Amino acid sequence: MASLGPTSTIPNDARGAAIALGNFDGVHSGHQAVIASARKVADEEGVALGVAVFEPHPRRFFKPDASPFRLQSARQRAQALSELGVEEVFEIGFDAALAGSTDREFAERVLRDLLGVSHVSIGADFEFGKGRCGNAESLARLGDELGFTVEAVAPVGGDDKVSSTGIREAIARGDMAVASEALTRPWAIEGEVLRGFQRGRTLGFPTANLALGEYVRPRLGVYAVRVDVGDGVLLPGAASVGVNPTVGDALPEPLLEAHLLDFSGDLYGKTIEVELIAFLRDEAKFDSLGELKRQMTQDVIDARRALIGA
């Protein structure tokens, strides 16, 4: 992965790639169609397959105080792209200079001069440049002039097109089946296991706790999950996403607390990935720890049932 600023250079063997251009947050089925378009050209022309993304996400640049919205960490996105055969990932630094560029300036400085692309695939609704002055048509005209081909790929799903926004909305309402179908994989939160208050352990349900960070906030409640603790083996579990209203003061930010079924071990400080498979119930405040423990026992039973055949 190459992070590129205005004065960056890239190795000669990375130039001339056929690239897919966009944000690709989630690498969902619509993104995969754009990448497949670039792959076809890369195979035909015998050049590398690349993806160019913007970092930070333009939404974060223009709205720095916006609520968290990311579907993936940079590592998760890179892994998903690698699984699609992408050989080069170019992270284009999104700053004020880039935001103020015209469509021509972007095409000349980034696509021609910096990356030296041979081809660019984009979504048909892709817009770029200051005030979104550029689109698929203008990029195709610029490509003809500057020496690269352009293909605009129709949305996947037709009128009900697959989009990162739609996936975020599904996650926010706890509809993990819709999110998974659009992503072509379960939606997952990755992070380092934090040391918490260990209240779950005292109740007989030790948890691995993850901060949500820049991830879009899922519906608060309990989920059936699968957890990769770092060895590629997915372990079943039940996880709560919430602010712990029953015990003491509520947390200022939601926390993911995953209880791994049939597992014992120390995960503190390790990076794990938690796949949210199915929403089980909303977060609730209980009158006593005994009532909370009884509900957690039921949550484990419900999680096991939900994960059968998932």
Quick one: 243 and 218 in the same domain? yes
Quick one: 140 and 229 in the same domain? no
Domain with residue 64: its CATH number is 3.40.50.620
SS (H, E, C) the chain: CEEECCCCCCCHHHCCCEEEECCCCCCCHHHHHHHHHHHHHHHHHCCCEEEEEEECCHHHHHCCCCCCCECCCHHHHHHHHHHCCCCEEEEEECCHHHHCCCHHHHHHHHHHHHCCCCEEEEECCCCECHHHCECHHHHHHHHHHHCCEEEEECCCCHHHCCCHHHHHHHHHCCCHHHHHHHHCCCEEEEEECECCCCHHHHCCCCCEEEECCCECCCCCEEEEEEEECCCCCEEEEEEEEECCCCCCCCCCCCEEEEEECCCCCCCCCCEEEEEEEEEEEECCCCCCHHHHHHHHHHHHHHHHHHHCCC
Quick one: 11 and 155 in the same domain? yes
Q: Is residue 63 part of a domain?
A: yes
Q: Do 310 and 224 contact (CB within 8 A), yes or no?
A: yes
Q: Is residue 167 part of a domain?
A: no
Quick one: 195 and 111 in the same domain? no
Quick one: 184 and 274 in the same domain? yes
User: Which residue, 93, 128, 160, sits at the end of a domain?
Assistant: 160
Residue indicated by tokens 């209240």: 199
Residue-wise pLDDT tens digits, 86-105: 999 999 999 999 999 999 99
pLDDT at 297: 94
Q: Is residue 224 part of a domain?
A: yes
Residue-wise pLDDT tens digits, 54-86: 999 999 999 999 999 999 999 999 999 999 999
pLDDT at 201: 59
Quick one: 52 and 198 in the same domain? no
Residues with Cβ within 8 Å of residue 144, at least 6 apart in sequence = none
Q: Is residue 28 part of a domain?
A: yes
Does the pTM of the predicted model rise above 0.85? Answer: yes
Q: Is residue 186 part of a domain?
A: yes
Q: How many domains does the chain have?
A: 2
Q: Is residue 74 part of a domain?
A: yes
pLDDT at 158: 78
Quick one: 147 and 187 in the same domain? no
pLDDT at 250: 66
Distance between CA atoms of residues 85 and 89, nearest Å: 11
Q: Which residues of the chain have pLDDT under 50?
A: 7
Quick one: 295 and 196 in the same domain? yes
Quick one: 242 and 196 in the same domain? yes
Quick one: 190 and 133 in the same domain? no
Between the CA atoms of 81, 129, 214 and 264, what dihedral angle is there, to the nearest 10 degrees? 0
Domain with residue 183: its CATH number is 2.40.30.30
Quick one: 146 and 234 in the same domain? no
Quick one: 120 and 189 in the same domain? no
* Structural domain that includes position 102: 2-160
User: Which residue, 128, 160, 192, sits at the end of a domain?
Assistant: 160
